[in-house]
Amino acid sequence: MNKPLKQHLIDPEICIRCYTCEMTCPIEAITHDDTNVVVDAGKCDFCMACIPVCPTGSIDEWRVVAEPYSIAEQLSWDELPEQQDIGAGAGDVEEALDETVAALLAEAHKGVGGKARAPSSAAKPTINLYTRSKPAKAVVQGSYRLTSEESGAEVRHIILDLGGQPFPVMEGQSIGIIAPGADENGNPHLPRLYSISSPRDGERPGYNNISLTVKREDGGICSNYVCDLKIGDEVLITGPFGATFLMPDDPSARLLMVCTGTGSAPFRAFTMRRQRVAAAGDGDMVLFFGARAPDSLPYFGPLNKIPGRILKKHLVFSRIPGAQKEYVQDRMMVEQEVIAEMLQDPRTHIYVCGLRGMEEGVEKAFLNIAESAGVPWESTREVMCGEGRYHVETY
């Protein structure tokens, strides 16, 4: 028998097919087909460059194997195989991770808190129902601008109708959109991911439609395509994706949500779900939402209409003339008592979504708040991660 070796794998149930790992890998050891993204065991040199960039943690899977899983095998998986008992000589899986790799992994995990998990009460999501080769066809039912012309940034609310095609989604999941045409190498565009901003029973209750919150990016092929769509246009979509950034199906769970800009999409879905079915539960929701100004904060009007007993809103602005710049992490410090109390309640679930840049500041705010309240932050975060109560999705 060969000496057991450690193989780097990707969890197909959690991967959202954003291909960031593939684009990050310096030696092209990561590849994909229409269904899965996989690591070539013959090429991967454990540099760990792909670990911190993965938005879901699906990249962080390791198995000790006698014979590495081939690319073809990995491409055929719907789920990751369990660690096999590979007999004498294999030792404990942890021991088989040699020290150098373990140290690199620890470095790559720093500040991330561990592997993402779904809340234990979350409903089981459907994933990968539609792929690049077999996408669903959605029809644009609505598209309107959420931010003012003067604000500079254009963010739109897009409603897609799935008609008779089954497209079951959970709040917090994403879909892929395939822009028509080809890239500079003549290959079809890869799907771009967008978070769903409507709840599971539809943008309109009981209808098979979903909504997205999309920002027009300068030179962005897909975002310009989506923002230019007109009512009645047909769009090819893949997914749904995402199996961890989900809400607890428990009306007594407390949600602490922190976002910037279009990172608000999943929180609109969470809030609508609660308003529709769980408003009677005693779990509260607290939102910290950062934007440049009120007219560039998506859903500013509708958000303000939600009663404070359902959603406590902290809308903070960074570019109001004459006012001091405020970021979400600044307001978190102002509200530290509320946050400290929530951190100590095992019913609390934390969600952070939006600009990658805010992650560090938000993490520091949690650390400061927890430690001033005598709560050890790193171990608390680890427990919350392990229980599917701590979720970060940044880009």
Shortest Cβ 320–ligand A2P spacing (Å) = 10
Q: Spell out, one character per residue from 191 to 210, where the chain touches ligand A2P: x when CB under 6 A holds, - when not.
A: --------------------
What are the CA-CA distances from residue 139 to residues 189, 209, 241, 266, 292 (Å)? 19, 9, 19, 21, 32
- Residue pair 131/34 in contact (Cβ under 8 Å)? The answer is yes
Phi, psi of 156 (to 5 degrees): -120, 150
109-143: b (≥16 Cβ within 10 Å) or e: beebbebbbbbeebeebebbbbbbeebbebbbbbb
By beta-carbon proximity to ligand A2P, the closer residue of 61 and 330 is 330
- 175 strand-pairing partners: 194
* Separation CA 200–CA 365 (nearest Å): 32
By beta-carbon proximity to ligand A2P, the closer residue of 132 and 292 is 292
Q: DSSP letter string over 6-38?
A: EEEE--TTT-----HHHHH-TT--EEE-SS-EE
Report the site for ligand A2P in 353-392 (rule: CB under 6 A): 355, 357-358, 361
* Separation CA 43–CA 30 (nearest Å): 9
* Separation CA 148–CA 152 (nearest Å): 8
Shortest Cβ 213–ligand A2P spacing (Å) = 11
Q: Tell whether residue 122 is a contact of ligand A2P (CB under 6 A).
A: no
Shortest Cβ 318–ligand A2P spacing (Å) = 3
Shortest Cβ 34–ligand A2P spacing (Å) = 32
Shortest Cβ 150–ligand A2P spacing (Å) = 14
By beta-carbon proximity to ligand A2P, the closer residue of 304 and 379 is 304
By beta-carbon proximity to ligand A2P, the closer residue of 128 and 264 is 264
Q: Spell out, one character per residue from 301 to 320, where the chain touches ligand A2P: x when CB under 6 A holds, - when not.
A: -----------------xx-
Helix 358-372 and helix 336-343, axial crossing angle in degrees, nearest 10:
80
Q: Is 94 helix (H, G, I), strand (E, B) or coil?
A: helix
Alpha helices in 110-235 (DSSP H): 221-228
Closest by Cα among 226, 225, 191 to 32:
191
* Separation CA 175–CA 222 (nearest Å): 13
By beta-carbon proximity to ligand A2P, the closer residue of 297 and 385 is 297
Shortest Cβ 317–ligand A2P spacing (Å) = 7
* Tokens linked to 144: 């309107």
* Separation CA 66–CA 106 (nearest Å): 25
Choosing from 63, 117, 292, 331, the residue that interacts with ligand A2P (CB under 6 A) is 292
Choosing from 119, 290, 298, 388, the residue that interacts with ligand A2P (CB under 6 A) is 290
Q: How many residues bind ligand A2P (CB under 6 A)?
A: 16
By beta-carbon proximity to ligand A2P, the closer residue of 318 and 368 is 318
By beta-carbon proximity to ligand A2P, the closer residue of 254 and 292 is 292
Report the site for ligand A2P in 227-286 (rule: CB under 6 A): 260-261
- Among the listed ranges 61-69, 112-120, 130-138, 287-295, the one in contact with ligand A2P (CB under 6 A) is 287-295
Report the site for ligand A2P in 139-168 (rule: CB under 6 A): 153
Shortest Cβ 371–ligand A2P spacing (Å) = 20
Q: Tell whether residue 328 is a contact of ligand A2P (CB under 6 A).
A: yes
Shortest Cβ 366–ligand A2P spacing (Å) = 13
Binding site for ligand A2P (CB under 6 A): 153, 260-261, 290-292, 296, 318-319, 327-329, 355, 357-358, 361
